[in-house]
Structure 1
């Protein structure tokens, strides 16, 4: 089966009725968990970005609470899983500030972990890559936001 481009799909969707579009959306939601999560974001949470960020942070807190700190190996696996979740949640929102806030929160929580992630080269490098990523993402934002986020970033680096 050849997968069509977004442009072709968009043209085809214009020819469908409202009921047919509703059926397609519901079918997409049933097909995959990510589709259902995206539909949930678009329908219920996209109008309140701050509330969305707070709910994502709460779910990240649960993941951080569940980290097995007995071994750096288990910590690495869970931290990578949390980072994947952040990327997925960031893709739902088209706002750059959402991703920056979630990554800053991730870095804050990483610094709070015991035993310290800075004693492990892999975790320390992962943390540093995220800080660099945040710095790059901050540069494209509005000047006022850049200032606020750079202050948060400086607090992290202390």
Structure 2
């Protein structure tokens, strides 16, 4: 089965009643966890972006506490998993400020980890890539936000 294009789906959804749209959304939410998470964000958390950021930060804290620090292998696997989760939450929001705030927090947590990440090339590369991504995104923000985020970025880089 070939999936329809976004335009075709949009045109078809215009002809559906609100009850049918609700049924389609609920049915869609049953298939994948990501669909349910996106609907949760859109319905409950999109009005309060600050609350959403705090929720994601708390989840990140919990995940960083659960990392097995016995070997760098386990640390790398856990850090990649956390980063995948954070990127998924950023994709839900599609807000540049949220992206920068969450990635900066991720970098702060990664930098403050023990054992230090600078002893492992892969972890250091993950850290450097995220900092580079943050720098590129900061440029597109408002000047006041750029200043605030650049101050945080400078403290992380030192």
TM-score normalized by the length of structure 1: 0.99
Aligned to 1:29: 29
Deviation of residue 126 (structure 1)?
1.0
Aligned-residue CA RMSD in angstroms? 0.6
Which runs of 5 or more residues in structure 2 are unaligned? none
Aligned to 1:154: 154
Whole-angstrom CA distance in 2 between matches of 1:42 and 1:126 = 30
Aligned to 1:77: 77
Aligned residues: 158
The 3-state SS of whatever aligns with 1:37 is: helix
TM-score normalized by the length of structure 2: 0.99
Superposed CA offset, 1:72-131 (max 9, x none): 000000000000001100010021111110000000000110010011111111101111
Show structure 1 runs of 4+ deviating over 2 A: none
Whole-angstrom CA distance in 1 between matches of 2:121 and 2:92 = 32
Aligned to 2:88: 88
Whole-angstrom CA distance in 2 between matches of 1:75 and 1:8 = 44
Whole-angstrom CA distance in 2 between matches of 1:18 and 1:24 = 10
Aligned to 2:122: 122
Which runs of 5 or more residues in structure 1 are unaligned? none
